[in-house]
Structure 1
Amino acid sequence: MSTPRTVLVIGGGAAGNAAAILLRRAGIAVDLIEAKDDWNATAGSGITLQGNALRVLRELGVWNRVEKSGYGFDAVGITAPDGTVLHVAEDLRTGGDDLPATVGMRRPRLQRILGDAVRESGADVHLGVRATSLDQYGDGVAVRFSDGTESRYDLVVAADGLGSTTRAAIGIADAPEPTGMAIWRIEVPRPAGVTRTDLAYGGPAYIAGYCPTGESTLYAYVVEAHRDRSSIPAGSYADEMRALAQHYGGHWPEITAHITDPSRVNYTWFDRMLVEGSWHRGRVVLVGDAAHCCPPTLAQGAAMSLEDAWVLARMLSATDTWDDALLQGYYERRVSRVRPVVEASVQIGRWQLDGVRDADVPGLMGRTMNMLRELP
């Protein structure tokens, strides 16, 4: 082959793990570094995976493990704050008719499945290691690491998330911007009657929702206007979330009774970012949250990241010529799909913040999700 195929993946989250697995399958040598010493120390309680995310997980060869570990369902309920069910809609199967519309699962469990698949792929994994410098030279990158070693690669895939230091190191100034909302999350035991996501609009929170993540677990969340996190003592997280959740009926009283341990509650602002123009500089290319992020109003964050990795790996494995045109083509292919997801996710939240009562939320969601049925 005219081009040696060696890739460094920076970041061991969903996008980085997916890229490593797919590039190894194509016969490309992959090193993956992750700044955390504990690869499975994943923040967050649960994750909602739409069908187009499941489609990529099937390509990765982990769908059977995901299916057994999560909870699949095909509907979403809209309720009043008191728990009265107002409407139940069938979710669109964006991954195809042979996959569920949605799978909820514990986020650490998904991380473990993907991490195991990376190791099984033969990628060389280094935990507790950062890239301290990236020096580009023609058709490659010389990388120095925090453990004192250095190596050269034909390509560096930056999958180091929302606060990507790699993005800044290669001169891309874009950074996440808050949208004005924040979310409280917790994992609790699943009430027996919960078999789908239900969303309550109104009451003291913008949204109160939950998603089953297994036979005995559930991921619950409430969305409010964002506050200065430094003004909220970590020891009061359970009290803060419970104060909002206690105003909701239906299954919420049973859920709320388990919101007692502040260490199990996660508080996060909603952010928005979309890097414009290109997602690469030389032989360093961004994937996933390092390139784009959006509020979880459409539950598409993980799906967009996984799709990035799938598209990039397919493009890299289809040719020996890894050049600017190829990486620019990756950006153009992805941005046309990511942009409407980011914009729709932000718009839905903006309508809520502005109190717009006649907004066409179902129409916007339907148009966006229908687009996602197509292959990326």
Structure 2
Amino acid sequence: MSRARTVLVIGGGAAGNAVTILLRRGGFAVDLIEARDDWNATAGSGITLQGNALRVLRELGVWEQVQASGFGYGSVGITAPDGTVLHVARDIRTGGDDLPATLGMQRPRLQQILIDAVRASGASVRLGTTAQILDQDANGVSVRFSDGGEGRYDLVIAADGLGSSTRAAIGITDKPEPTGMAIWRIAAPRPAGVTRTDLAFGGPAYIAGYSPTSDSTLYAYVVEDNRDRASIPPATYADEMRRLACAYGGFWPEITQHIADPAKVNYTRFDRLLVEDSWHRGRVVLIGDAAHCCPPTLAQGAALSLEDAWVLAQLLTATQSWDDALFQAYYERRIARVRPVVEASVQLGQWQLDGVRDADVPGLMARTMTMLRELP
């Protein structure tokens, strides 16, 4: 009887958790390590999941929990800064007609659902642990862990995020680049009338928006020029976000009164990353933000990462030949889908930075989202 193939997953975010669940289902022995001691110390307050993300979450077996925890909706409103609704557009159902077009939920809740599914899968999990690639050959990879232990695996999957140390360690030199924008986010109680995402363009911020995340909560955000985060004292985060948010009408006054605790405000710059060359070196392969990242202008970051996990797991379980041809097939299948999303997400922000008033924003969004209806 042949032994179960062994996989080390580095990083316990959405991509790492998803690929762990799928590979365990395929019968592989999976060790997942996460650098943080607190596996659910998740930055940010909420997440917007388009249908193609929900499609993968259904494949993971967690859709019912996600559906019960979040708030599904099917349209987006465009408003003036004073709150006047200018246009309401139907969202494209990128996950198929049997799933909501969009679902908002609290990011820590999504992470906990995935954590529970990883635990239930029987994967070995080690927190507060990092790994160093020692060497590899055609059959596997040797690693040393931060606690001094060592291991040998048939495959290492680097899901260690935008600043991936594994990416750099295997000789991939691509690094994230700032796009020029940054975002303030906060979780807040949901006004009863908020039943979709509304986006206000103009005013002191590029975008002021919110998304319902449950029957009682939402997350709100304002987008501005990127500033050096080190120059903004954390104690002023609530003041900084409130200064921008208070210029907006509609539901914003009710939301703004909850922007009070600076510890609950998250500030993050927008980055762009797309590893253009293959996403593997030998038996070490990148997924998720370690391979690509885009501004949240299309709300596709988590969706693309989840798709990576789904596609890679499909390929790994379909054959015994874990070789360059397989990993190149993974790259080619993903880059054709990821590149237009990254480019469109960056372009939408750049048009705002450049003050382009006649840009075909609806057309670009519709073309990109329609493409995502196809299976990854």
Structure 1 counterpart of 2:158: 158
Paired residues of 2:133 and 2:141 also in contact (CA < 8 A): no
1:236 and 2:216 matched: no
| CA-to-aligned-CA distance 1:263-314 (integer Å, 9 cap, x gap) | 0000000000100120000000000000000000000000000000000000
1:13 and 2:13 matched: yes
In the aligned structure 2, how far is the partner of 1:185 from the partner of 1:120?
A: 32
Paired residues of 1:7 and 1:31 also in contact (CA < 8 A): yes
Amino acid of the structure 2 residue aligned with 1:247:
A
In the aligned structure 1, how far is the partner of 2:278 from the partner of 2:170?
A: 12
Which residues in structure 2 correspond to 1:27-106 (within 5 Å)?
Answer: 27-106=27-106
Which residues in structure 2 correspond to 1:104-115 (within 5 Å)?
Answer: 104-115=104-115
| CA-to-aligned-CA distance 1:48-103 (integer Å, 9 cap, x gap) | 00000000000000000000000000010000000000011110110000000000
Paired residues of 1:2 and 1:320 also in contact (CA < 8 A): no
Give the C-alpha shift of residue 4 in structure 1: 5.1
- Identify unmatched segments of 5+ residues in structure 2: none
Secondary structure at 1:297 match in 2: coil
In the aligned structure 1, how far is the partner of 2:215 from the partner of 2:228?
A: 36
Amino acid of the structure 1 residue aligned with 2:30:
V
Paired residues of 2:4 and 2:29 also in contact (CA < 8 A): no
Give the C-alpha shift of residue 138 in structure 1: 2.5
Amino acid of the structure 1 residue aligned with 2:155:
L
Give the C-alpha shift of residue 134 in structure 1: 3.4
1:171 and 2:197 matched: no
In the aligned structure 1, how far is the partner of 2:128 from the partner of 2:3?
A: 30
- Identify unmatched segments of 5+ residues in structure 1: none
Q: Could you state the TM-score of these two structures normalised by the residue count of structure 1? A: 0.99
- Percentage identity across paired residues of the two chains: 80
| CA-to-aligned-CA distance 1:165-190 (integer Å, 9 cap, x gap) | 00001010101000000000000111
Paired residues of 1:3 and 1:320 also in contact (CA < 8 A): no
In the aligned structure 2, how far is the partner of 1:40 from the partner of 1:228?
A: 26
Q: How well do the aligned residues superpose, as a CA RMSD in angstroms?
A: 0.9
Structure 2 counterpart of 1:320: 320
In the aligned structure 2, how far is the partner of 1:108 from the partner of 1:205?
A: 26
Amino acid of the structure 2 residue aligned with 1:230:
A
Give the C-alpha shift of residue 147 in structure 1: 1.1
Amino acid of the structure 2 residue aligned with 1:149:
G
Paired residues of 2:4 and 2:27 also in contact (CA < 8 A): no
Paired residues of 1:185 and 1:219 also in contact (CA < 8 A): yes
Q: Could you state the TM-score of these two structures normalised by the residue count of structure 2? A: 0.99
Secondary structure at 1:296 match in 2: coil
